[in-house]
Amino acid sequence: MGQLILVAEDQQHIRNLIEYKLKNSGYDVVAVEDGAAALEKARELSPALIMLDIMMPLMTGFEVLASLKNDPHTKAIPVLLVTAQSKEHEVLRGLELGAEDYITKPFSPNELAARVKKVLLKHTAT
């Protein structure tokens, strides 16, 4: 049916919101709370896109990103980073590590959906 998106976000209300919006936009969504679970689900489900919050406890988004790109099973999956307050160095570091795109908090759910669509389109085209 719809493409599968994996969302990793520790704050519950944001997680709910993103899940709701993406489901409304026609995707299937699996949402997890932390980095370790994200890695596990990524390997297990091979989603079409992974949305990754940077500020997570225990394992930061960067660490998860690095792991994803090191693992042959998951390195092809495009990653969309969610960063706080447009910290430039965070964004650059994320892109360097291999993230496809990023969105900053506070964010507009409509814009989020648009970004997701753009990344997926670009990725399936290549």
Partner 1 sequence: MSLTFLIILALTAAITFLVVMAAVSLVIHKNAVARRQRIQRRLTEEYAVALTEMLMTELPSLPATAPSSARFRQYESLLEPIKKQLQSLSRRRRRIHRTALLEVMLDYAQDLTGEAADRVVYAAYSLDYVQELIAELKSRQWYSRAQAARDLGVIGAKRAIGGLTAALEDDHPDVRFQAIQALIVLVGADALRTIFRVGGRLSTWNMMGLSVIVLRFKEDVVPHLIEGLYAADQSFVLFCIEMLAEIGFVSAVEPLRRIATDYPNVVVRAKAIEALGRLGDERAEPLLLKNASNPYPVMRLRALQALRKVGSPAALPVLEERLREGPLEEKIAAARAMARTGREGRTVLERMRKEEGTLAAAAAVQVLEELSIGGSA
Q: Which residues make up the interface to partner 1 (CB under 8 A)? A: 11-14, 16-17, 20-21, 24, 85, 105-111
Give the C-alpha distances (Å, rounded to integers) separating 76 from 35, 50, 60, 70.
Answer: 18, 11, 20, 10
Nearer to partner 1, 21 or 123 (CB): 21
Please tell me the distance from the alpha carbon of residue 80 to that of residue 2, in angstroms, as a whole number.
18
State the nearest-atom distance from the C-beta of 43 to partner 1, in Å: 29
State the nearest-atom distance from the C-beta of 21 to partner 1, in Å: 5
From the centroid of its chain, how far is CA 115? 11
Please tell me the distance from the alpha carbon of residue 36 to that of residue 114, in angstroms, as a whole number.
27
State the nearest-atom distance from the C-beta of 75 to partner 1, in Å: 30
Nearer to partner 1, 21 or 69 (CB): 21
Q: 28-32 and 101-105 as β-strands: parallel, antiparallel, unpaired?
A: unpaired
Nearer to partner 1, 49 or 112 (CB): 112
